[in-house]
């Protein structure tokens, strides 16, 4: 029995974000869609097929925010990390 492992694809770094849906299609199987899969995009940023999730831990509390736009996710992450360093 051969086991195939899923390879992660890199998210394109273009500003238009046109290829993201093609690279990470949404799941159609109901059983698998109940447990979302998050693909790492950058430090503290993940993509689940619908939007970008930002997770930062500050003083033992984890802050998690979701946005459909990659630029907003980067701004939120930078703001939270700046808040963390203060």
pTM: 0.57
Q: How does pLDDT run across 47-57, given as a tens digit for each residue?
A: 988 899 999 99
pLDDT band at 1 (very low <50, low <70, confident <90, very high): low
Angle at 36 between CA 32 and CA 42, to 5 degrees: 140
User: Are 44 and 73 spatial neighbours (Cβ–Cβ below 8 Å)?
Assistant: no
More confident residue, 19 or 50: 50
Which strands make up the sheet holding 39-42, listed edge to edge? 39-42, 45-47, 52-58, 61-67
E strand residue ranges, the chain = 39-42, 45-47, 52-58, 61-67
**Which pLDDT does position 29 carry in this prediction?**
60
User: Are 48 and 55 spatial neighbours (Cβ–Cβ below 8 Å)?
Assistant: no
């Amino acid at each position: 029995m051969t086991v195939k492992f899923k390879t992660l694809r890199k998210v394109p770094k273009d500003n238009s974000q046109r290829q993201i849906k093609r690279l990470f299609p949404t799941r159609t199987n109901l059983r698998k869609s109940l447990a979302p899969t998050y693909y790492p995009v950058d430090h503290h940023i993940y993509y689940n097929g619908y939007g970008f999730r930002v997770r930062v831990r500050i003083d033992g509390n984890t802050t998690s925010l979701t946005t459909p736009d990659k630029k907003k996710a980067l701004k939120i992450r930078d703001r939270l990390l700046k808040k963390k360093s203060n």
